[in-house]
Every structure is written in structure tokens, then in C-alpha cells.
A and B are shown apart, each in its own frame.
Chain A
């Protein structure tokens, strides 16, 4: 049967002319600028505005070519909507003027002299090329554009890799390929990452977590370093200008306005290579700062709705960045939800890491909620139904929720306690063994009932020391930031191995390398979701700077020459990641039960010390060993090798008695961080038989991993 021609809507025609342009009352949903037959539909919310004007520019023009006041009948409720016909949408930029009360004490800061960016802009102009000085004489700096969303995804969709099987790699888009050594066509861009996918695959990671890729202003609070003359930028980008738009300056095609396509092409290629994409999203505050900051969008659209305000009308500052987005206001909640849905549906994003997520659980006055509607909404949203949700479960207002973040059966957390405990243990601090055993199990003390994948385990991230610096510096060295070394964390739990900073002492260099291997090994044998900071696998250094938020230089850039220079460390990282992937016993979904529930003759996990079956939990202990029974892998659903891990953070070698295996299985050496490369890690299936099956010597500050088969 032939389908008859479908009737098109008959009301898609102009009804009047405003400012010389044909228009009609628009559709109130979706918000933002949407292409419709014959024109562009504009819809914007403001509860407290008294009037709204649509302002249209030709791309890059200082002055608008048209200003269209919304007739009162074009407003439905609190939404102004208008369709404008016959616009050249590719050469168009738009914004709004909002009029209303300008009474800061009452929370209102309307100013019709300012053109406001649409918070639902899916494309934003004004910072098209990274670091290119903006034309500061332009009144309208961050300029809304119209995006045609279509893209040839073919069969792509989010990969839905089980969370406990992920190995996450935290990456800054620009830093990853900006270094002159990167040998890519367009350094510092989405396109350049595509060229480096073979490297990511060789490392074995299967999820990249991208530091903010939403449009931000690298010039926000920028300054010149008086020593070097270099510009210090808002480099990391934790200050959002537009939640729906990929950063143009991260795209080789940003100057052409094709950043959305370029980013989608990256996601598609990563997916083709089995790598998920997680975005670091910053909903806790915006680039507008406090009352001294620029009015870009929210402040002028409806300040009282979008921001948490004190009774006197000042900005609450739970973010440490001047303002706090009013996330549990129902309207703002919808902005967040619409945004995440958009990234999942249109960009096929696999997951999100929420910066300072504890803020998302505060009510409009800042009080932590027992049942935060936003967090519950996100956890139960159908479009986000299989999307990973990861919280940085603290904020700058002192709310610390690691282990207690409202999870609704969905949320995982960056496990800051994992980082702190393992760091302390690695540096040889006493009294850490009981806590270490919990961290190795996926922190059941924090996440029991939520599964191991609730714990995103990490030792380093963009905040703080790199892994190399963690073993090279006792103290932070942030002078280059221009804040008299007052910024950045002081509790780093780091140890310089005997000398502060760079050294030629071969003993210290060897020890540091071993400590880095120890750290990577512990991370990969821990239950939960491991996360590696980009560059740690090749010993990237920030020269002791633990807060490089402002540096567009070698302090942040991944030095690709280190791939050769530190090939030994990279090889170890590749091997230990491969070891994790090869062994489902390391990737339990649920926490351990400490018993034999499959009849294998061994409990799922057992704890040991230098004597088998006798772990030393005392306050002076620096050793721990554990045995994972392969018959209990993934809750007994698959059979794996047995895995025995002996960890010695004492400075001398110690002899460990190894537990005997039932069934004639024998121990083989998979990893020994105390051995020289390449005998520090053996590929799966090539592990040599351990000569003495009863006892083994584990070097000082070393880890031995055996597999039983």
C-alpha cells in the first residue's frame, strides 16, 4: 500500500512583520533556537521579565541588523516564543534583551541595554579559535548561533560497557595534543584526539573522561605571568558559558562553526574503537561569577530563578567561584535535565562526571536536601537510563558526601577516600592496612549495597599532583599561578623519595619509578572503576604544581616525547591495564562476601600477611596480601585464574608465605614491581612459573602479583 502524502502543518506561515522580518507566534518548546520549515523558532524563559526583544546579528557583526520585540500574544506563561522566517541561519547570531526590575536586593538584575546569550544555545560564537584575542569593543561577546543537529551516526550509539569493566582516562582536550611533540595535524583539538586513538587503544583504556568541553571563556580572569610573559587562562574550563554548546576553540573547524560535527566525529570514532566518552560537567556555577562578574545570560534573563541568592540578594558561593546555580529550582532542574538528555541523544555521550556535585543536592537557600529532586530526576530519567552518572561528592561550601551521596541506585562517586588511603599507604605511612583492605574491595564501608562500581578509584586527577609529582614532591610549588603559592591543596599525602623535585640520583629515580608502578598496580587490582590521569602512564610532571588550572603550556600539555623516554613505565601501564581486563576476578559487580559460595574450597577473598592466612592489621603494619579466588569471579558467574597480591610498603624486602592452591593449580608471576623491566609485568598467558610455590621474596616498596592456574 502506498502511503498517501502526509499533510504538513498549515499554520507554518508568517502572520505579521516586525522590524522588516516576517514572523508568527512561535512554539514554546523546545527552548532555544530551532530550525522549522521556512524559518527559525526562538523560545526563551523568563519568569520575572516584563518584556523581551529578540536581537539578530549577522555573524561577527557589532551591531544588530534587527531587533524584534515580542508582542504580548507571543508569550505563553513565562516563555517568549517567535518564529522568524527567511533567515540565513548559517550567517546568523542572536540574543535577547530582557527588561524588568533592576533591584538587586530583591534578586532582580534586568538590564535591557545588555544583549544576552540564549542559555539553550547549541552553538556559540565569539571564541571560535582558542586564545585568539576577542574584539573587546564588541558588546555582545558570547554569541548564540543556530545549529542544524543532523549527523551521520550510522549504527553508533552509547556503548553501555558495564561500569565495573571500565578503565577511565581523564583527559583535557587541548592538553592531550597541544605539545609540539604530538605530531598531529591540528594540535589541541577534537580532531587531533582522533589521530591519537591508536595510542589510547594501546594503553587499554576504554573510557575517556573529558574535562569540560562545554563552551567556556579561556579569557575569563586571564592575566599575564610577569616572569614568562605568557597568558594565564581559564585553561581547564571549569566555568561554563553555555551548557549545550561544544567549545568552538577545541575544534579545528571552530572558525567554520562546525565544532558540533567535529566533536560528534570524535565520539563516533572512539565508539568504533570500543572507547566510551564521559563528560565532566559543571552545573554548580557559571562564568557570570558574583555581582562583579559579566552579565552573559542567566543573570540578565532571570537572576532570581537561576542563582542561589541570600535574603539580601547577594550570591551564595558554594562553588568557590562567585555564584551557585540554583539547581533544585524546578526551572533550573529542567535546564540540567534538558542539557544532559541533549548530550546523550545528540552526541551519544556515555556518561557524566559532575563537578562539585554536592551542590546539586542543596536547596535554593543552600541547605542540603535529604531527597534532592534533581539527583532523583537524573537517576530516574528514561533517556539517561543507561548513562553513567558520577559525582564529585563534595563542594566548596564544606559539604562532603563521599559514601553518602544520594545515589538512587544509580550514582557513582569519585572516591576521595580511596585516593587518600592508598597514597598514605604507598608512602609508607603506618596504620593504613585495615583501611587499605576496604579500598581494595571497592570500599564496602562506603558503598555496600550500591555495588563496587559506585567507587571510582583514583590516585590522581586534574586537581592535585600528577603521579610523577606525587612521588617527586613533598610540597606543592604553585608559584607560577601568581597566587603566592596559596592556591591548591596542602594535604597531598605525597613523598618525594628523598629529594624535592628533579634529580639525577639514580636510586631515587628508580624508587620513584617503582612507586609509580606500585600505584598503577594497586589501582588496577582494586575492585571498583579505576581512573588514570592522562600522562601518568608516561610520568608526566607539572614540576610540583598541584593546581595548573591556568597554564596553556608544558605544565599541562602531554609531552609525547615521554612515550619514548619513559617507555618502561608506559609498558608497565599497558600490561597492568591488560591484566585487569584479562581477569574478571578484579571486576566484581557486587562486594565480597568473605565466604565460599561456589564450593571452590576458597572464599571469594582472603587476607594474608607475611604469613599466609594471618594478615597483620596492627597499627605498625606496612604489609598486606590478598587472594581472590578465580571461581568466584564476577560473583561466581565466570571462572578466572586465582590472583594473589602481596603488597610491601616497608622499605626492606620481606618474605611472604603464599597460600596453597587446591586442585593442583600452581602460582605464576604476573607482576613484580620490584623486578627490572620487562620482568616487572608479563603478558597474559606468558607468566613464568614461580619456582618456590610456598614462599616468595617481595622487594622493599614493591608489589608482587601471582596468578594461579
Chain B
């Protein structure tokens, strides 16, 4: 499955829905989308990744890029990540830079 990313923006919250395989070949698409939403200066970014099958190191780089592009004051939620993706992010320490949740609505209200 190829990679797709779609974004929307509402009241300071950026929603990005990712699906497919995020690797070196597709990371550029994600990066372009992040740059686009960065112009809106979001305070929260929600990455919906239920349908993200695979994340290569370039994908991890993109999460790091997102954090650094938007700044430490922007919370980044990773919603619905598959276990192997959560695991990879934990092993590489990226879990400290994002907030995992099953549901954005529940996480954002806590």
C-alpha cells in the first residue's frame, strides 16, 4: 500500500491522517504536509496512524522533524499506532517526544 497523508486544521489543532508505508521514499510527502501546517502555528498536532502499516527510520526522522519544527510547546499526539510502531518508537526514544493515545478526544481532554 502506498503512503497517503491528509491534513486539516481547526482551532489550533492540526489533524493529519497517515496511511500505508512511511519510508525514505514517502517521507518527503509527510514533511511537506508538516511544513504546510506549521505555517498555521498549531498548539496541538494529532497524527492518526491507525492505517500506517510500516514506519522506517525516515519515518521516525519525520516525527523528530515535526517536534523540532513546531517547537517543544506543541503537543504531538500519535493516535492508534500499531504495536510494532509503538515498539520501534520506544526502542529509539522517540516515545519521549510524543503522546500515544487510542483516542484523540479522550487524550486531549485528560
Contacts and interface: CB of A to CB of B under 8 A. Distances in A.
Q: Are A and B subunits of one complex?
A: yes
B82 interface: no
Interface in A42-94: 88-91
Interface in A99-153: 148, 150-152
A622 B56 CA distance: 63
A187 to B, nearest CB: 13
B24 interface: yes
Contact of B64 (A88, A150, A186, A262): A150
Given A88-B24, A148-B57, A152-B97, A258 B67 contact: no
A154 interface: yes
Interface stretch (A249-257, A288-296, A364-372, A401-409): A249-257
B83 interface: no
Interface string B74-110: 0000000000000010111110110000000000000
Given A89-B24, A90-B24, A148 B91 contact: no
B49 to A, nearest CB: 17
Contacts of B72: 154
A295 B61 CA distance: 34
Contacts of A151: 64, 93
Interface in A137-178: 148, 150-152, 154
B37 interface: no
A673 to B, nearest CB: 41
A264 interface: yes
Contact of B60 (A91, A261, A266, A268): A261
A152 B24 contact: no
Interface residues of B, number: 21
Nearest to B59: A90
A48 B71 CA distance: 49
B8 to A, nearest CB: 26
Instruction: Tell me the dominant secondary structure on chain B's binding face.
Output: helix
A262 B67 contact: no
B61 A148 contact: yes
A336 interface: no
Given A90-B56, A148-B61, A264-B93, A256 B88 contact: yes
A261 B92 contact: yes
B25 interface: yes
A466 to B, nearest CB: 30
B68 interface: yes
A639 to B, nearest CB: 40
Contacts of A89: 24
A563 B33 CA distance: 51
B65 A269 contact: no
Given A151-B64, A152-B94, A253 B24 contact: no
Contacts of B61: 148, 150
A191 interface: yes
Nearest to B63: A152
Given A150-B64, A150-B65, A152-B68, A257 B57 contact: yes
A663 B68 CA distance: 58
Contacts of B53: none
B44 interface: no
B51 interface: no
Contacts of A90: 23-24, 56-58
Contacts of B57: 90, 148, 256-258, 261
A566 B67 CA distance: 45
A555 interface: no
B92 A268 contact: no
Contacts of A268: 93, 96
Interface in B14-71: 23-25, 56-58, 60-61, 64-65, 67-68
A612 interface: no
Nearest to B84: A256
A265 interface: yes
A256 B91 CA distance: 11
A264 B90 CA distance: 12
Interface string A517-555: 000000000000000000000000000000000000000
Contact of B92 (A88, A154, A253): A253
Contact of B58 (A148, A252, A266): A148
B76 to A, nearest CB: 11
Interface string A218-254: 0000000000000000000000000000000001110
B23 A252 contact: no
B25 A88 contact: yes
B25, B91, B94 interface centre (most CB from chain A within 10 Å) = B91
Contacts of B90: 191
A130 to B, nearest CB: 15
Interface string A464-491: 0000000000000000000000000000
Given A148-B58, A256-B88, A262 B65 contact: no
A152 B67 contact: yes
B103 to A, nearest CB: 25
**Which of B23, B57, B88, B93: most chain A CB closer than 10 A?**
B93
A258 B23 contact: no
A121 to B, nearest CB: 15
B25 A253 contact: no
**Central interface residue in A154, A186, A265, by most chain B CB within 10 Å:** A265
Contacts of B67: 152
Given A152-B97, A256-B57, A257-B57, A186 B25 contact: no
A253 B23 contact: no
Contact of B93 (A88, A148, A256, A262): A262
Contacts of B60: 258, 261
Contacts of A191: 90-91
Interface in A266-314: 266, 268-269
Contacts of A154: 72, 96-97
Nearest to A92: B24
B23 A186 contact: no
Contact of B91 (A91, A152, A258): A258
User: Which residue, of B23, B24, B96, B97, has the highest number of chain A Cβ atoms within 10 A?
Assistant: B24
Interface centre among A90, A152, A253, A258, by most chain B C-beta atoms within 10 angstroms, is A152
Contacts of B56: 90, 256
Nearest to A251: B91
Contacts of A256: 56-57, 88
Contacts of A258: 57, 60, 88, 91-92
B25 A265 contact: no
A258 B93 CA distance: 11
20 contacts: A90-B24, A148-B58, A151-B64, A152-B64, A152-B93, A152-B94, A152-B96, A152-B97, A154-B72, A154-B97, A253-B88, A258-B92, A261-B57, A261-B91, A261-B92, A261-B93, A262-B92, A264-B92, A268-B93, A268-B96
Given A89-B24, A150-B64, A258-B60, 9 more contacts: A152-B67, A191-B91, A253-B88, A261-B57, A262-B92, A265-B91, A265-B92, A268-B96, A269-B93
Give the top 3 A-B pairs by smallest Cβ distance, nearest first. A265-B93, A261-B92, A90-B24
